[in-house]
């Protein structure tokens, strides 16, 4: 047990050092080709506010850019930042400031409640949606965020992108008799 204590302290230490802590991630129906669904019409819907109205727009833009940048799907795509009121795309990434259970983010009429974030420790939950079908979802956090242009935000959202859109879904590959080396 004494040998395990340092390992258990790593996530706490990582958060104190400004390193994003992301996961666990659930890959529902996601395949690496699903990134193609987001080409030309993908949106990032930010629920909640961060650093006031102007800061929320900046955070949404950073989140949209970095989630798409961090994605490891087989198709490159971009996301346009939207609010829950302006989002119209079938293919979207929903990010809720303050966290929550991403399992319900894609459901019609989902009760999405974000928080007003003004700095410090940030927790978010995110889901990749294809209409009402949830492809994947995860959550993440980072400490010491000082503003909408803080590089820690970019690191957090990039990591969330790689979790929502990984290169492969091992659960589906195992069902198809494929291994990790299969392209």
DSSP state of 148: T
User: Cis link prior to 120 (omega < 30° from 0)?
Assistant: no
Q: How far apart are CA 168 and CA 33, in angstroms?
A: 9
Q: What is residue 183's predicted lDDT score, i.e. its pLDDT?
A: 42
- Would you put residue 114 in left (φ > 0), alpha (ψ -120 to 50) or beta? beta
Stated as kind and residue range, the H or E segment containing 82 is strand 80-82
Q: Angle at which helices 151-164 and 52-70 pack, to 10 degrees?
A: 40
| HSE of 111, CA atoms in CB hemisphere, 13 A | 0
Percent of the chain with pLDDT over 90: 50
Mean pLDDT in residue range 175-183: 46
pLDDT digits (tens, 9 = 90+) for 146-171: 999 999 999 999 999 999 998 876 66
3-state secondary structure 7-49: HHHHHHHHHHCCCCEECCCEECCCCHHHHHHHCCCCEEEEECE
The pTM for the full model equals: 0.82
Q: What is residue 19's predicted lDDT score, i.e. its pLDDT?
A: 87
Q: Name every residue whose Cβ is closer than 8 Å to that of residue 167 and which is 6 or more positions away in sequence.
A: 32, 72, 73, 74
Q: What is residue 171's predicted lDDT score, i.e. its pLDDT?
A: 65
Grade residue 7 by pLDDT with cuts at 50, 70 and 90.
very low
């Amino acid at each position: 047990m004494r040998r395990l204590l340092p390992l258990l302290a790593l996530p706490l230490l990582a958060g104190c050092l400004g390193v994003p802590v992301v996961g666990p991630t659930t890959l529902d129906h996601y395949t690496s080709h699903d990134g193609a669904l987001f080409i030309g019409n993908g949106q990032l819907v930010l629920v909640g506010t961060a650093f006031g109205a102007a800061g929320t727009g900046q955070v949404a833009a950073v989140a949209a850019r970095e989630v798409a940048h961090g994605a490891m799907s087989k198709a490159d795509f971009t996301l346009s930042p939207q609010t829950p009121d302006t989002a119209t795309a079938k293919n979207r990434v929903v990010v809720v400031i303050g966290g929550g259970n991403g399992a319900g983010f894609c459901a019609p009429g989902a009760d999405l409640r974000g928080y007003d974030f003004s700095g410090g420790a940030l927790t978010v939950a995110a889901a990749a949606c294809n209409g009402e079908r949830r492809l994947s979802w995860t959550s993440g956090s980072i400490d010491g965020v000082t503003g909408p242009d803080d590089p820690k935000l970019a690191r957090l959202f990039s990591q969330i992108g790689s979790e929502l859109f990984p290169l492969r879904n091992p659960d589906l590959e195992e069902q198809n008799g494929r291994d990790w080396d299969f392209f």
